[in-house]
Structure 1
Amino acid sequence: MIDLDIDIGRTALVLIDLQNSNVKRDLAPYTAEQVVGNCVLLSGEMRDRGGMVIFVRVLVDQMQLPPADAPLRKPGAPAPPPDASLLAPDAQVQAQDIVVTKRQWGAFYGTELDQLLRRRHIKTIVLGGIATNFGVESTARAAFDRGYELVFVEDAMSSMAADAHAFACGRIFPVMGKVRSTRHVIDALQAGTGDA
């Protein structure tokens, strides 16, 4: 039984930070290869149905580094390699996909993402990417505040620690939207039923 109805014309797949700097990380509970593989399956299904696919990347060399107890990149650390901010080739970005560039964790602040979605009358965002409790969660919170309906693809995202991923997917995301597997979302897309 499909309990997720997706209106393809009003839904966008938004994939966060599937870029070289992140796919080289040790992730849990899913490896980068698993996450990227599931994102490729989702983006293929969306494209096959004429859906909107958006890849978001962060310019890691332009992110602010305010004082923090445990910064992801310590002040004074060597600059990231030149290809760190490029989307990973395995993500299989296509010419018809939209690429949004950001300079912070979340994909809404200081970008054109909200305008792109509203011009297409998008009401539902399907989210995946790296990392669950950083870029994905920051983007989700901003989307929720703007009134978008959210579908979180649990096995199309991962983090640097399994417990951080589990907490976001088990405690935060169910309050903001629907948490489903890649298979579940693809089944719903293939069923092609109704509204999200």
Structure 2
Amino acid sequence: MPSQSRDQILSAYMETYGLDESQLMEDSVSETKAVLDAAADYALDRHDAFEIKPERCALVVIDMQVGFVAHGSAQWIPQAERMLPPLIGFADACRDAGIPVLLTSANTLSPAPNDAPRFSKAMAEGNLGDDAPGLEIMTGLHRKGDYLITTKRTYDSFYGTDLDMQLRSRGRDTVIITGTMTNYCCEATARSAFDRGYHVVFMSDLTATDIALCHEATLLTMRRGYARVMDRFRFLQEIGVE
């Protein structure tokens, strides 16, 4: 989390809610203290929440497909393209540690079961439709033995897919979330995994979106209430991989 001063935290809080200092409740219970305490809590890594056991983990690679990652694609996420090489290396390290890799490719239905195409011109024009080039997983990510999910129709990778069944059949209760976009499919999948009783590891440097502010906001939420948030170096160190 980018460091912010006390004044910056309070200023952003007041600006967001249209307040000035005179409107802050400072009686026996201080609103200023509540805001500052919350900011500190969002920044706290909860690495003691659960132990990471490689034999219980599965790597979920979300929507690292041509339609999002290829340079100049219709819904291009530049940081997703940039993080492709380290994600490929991380996935290989996971495979070597006995961690299965499951990949999703978002594939929208026509007519769509939700309003997603109404929010995205590229989706409405078929970027992720049946037989579109945008469905293909980026080269180097998908290896023999991985499991590919092509029935992902919305942000949550569990909804309408066999992801839950595939994880449980492998005896995996910890999901490592990577891919794109941080604040859409990665966050939706992490929340859904949490609600299903999975331990969630959310990779700070192997998830990507198009606005840094949204990436950081998701990490804050994940860190405070859903997941252990860490980068790839911390994760590999934790499972004993140099």
* Alignment TM class, shorter chain as reference: 0.7 to 0.9
Report if aligned partners of 2:222, 2:229 keep a CA contact under 8 Å in 1: no
Structure 1 gaps of 5+ residues are none
CA deviations 1:102-161 (Å, max 9, x no partner) are 111111011000001111111111111000011101111110110000111101011121
1:79 positional shift: 2.6
- Between the aligned partners of 2:66 and 2:235, the Cα distance in structure 1 is 26
1:141-152 aligned at under 5 Å gives the runs: 141-152=191-202
- Between the aligned partners of 2:110 and 2:185, the Cα distance in structure 1 is 15
- Between the aligned partners of 1:78 and 1:157, the Cα distance in structure 2 is 26
- Between the aligned partners of 1:124 and 1:103, the Cα distance in structure 2 is 23
In structure 2, the partner of 1:18 is: 64
The secondary structure found in structure 2 opposite 1:84 is helix
In structure 1, the partner of 2:15 is: none
Report if aligned partners of 1:129, 1:158 keep a CA contact under 8 Å in 2: yes
1:175 positional shift: 1.1
In structure 1, the partner of 2:127 is: 80
Give 2:87's aligned amino acid.
Answer: C
- Between the aligned partners of 1:74 and 1:150, the Cα distance in structure 2 is 31
CA deviations 1:6-26 (Å, max 9, x no partner) are 311110010100000110355
- Between the aligned partners of 1:169 and 1:85, the Cα distance in structure 2 is 27
Number of positions where the alignment pairs a residue of Structure 1 with one of Structure 2:
186
Structure 2 gaps of 5+ residues are 1-46
CA RMSD in angstroms comes to 2.5
In structure 1, the partner of 2:91 is: 43
The match for 1:156 among 182, 206, 209 is 206
Query: Identical aligned pairs, as a percentage?
Result: 27
The secondary structure found in structure 1 opposite 2:207 is strand
Give 1:52's aligned amino acid.
Answer: P
Report if aligned partners of 2:155, 2:188 keep a CA contact under 8 Å in 1: yes
Larger helix share, 1 or 2: 2
- Between the aligned partners of 1:63 and 1:103, the Cα distance in structure 2 is 11
2:186 paired with 1:140: no
1:104-143 aligned at under 5 Å gives the runs: 104-143=154-193
Give 1:58's aligned amino acid.
Answer: A
Report if aligned partners of 1:155, 1:182 keep a CA contact under 8 Å in 2: yes
Cα 1:172–1:189 change in 2 (3 A) is closer
CA deviations 1:47-79 (Å, max 9, x no partner) are 11221111111114658274579712368x433
- Between the aligned partners of 2:178 and 2:116, the Cα distance in structure 1 is 26
With the length of structure 1 as denominator, give the TM-score of the two structures.
Answer: 0.84
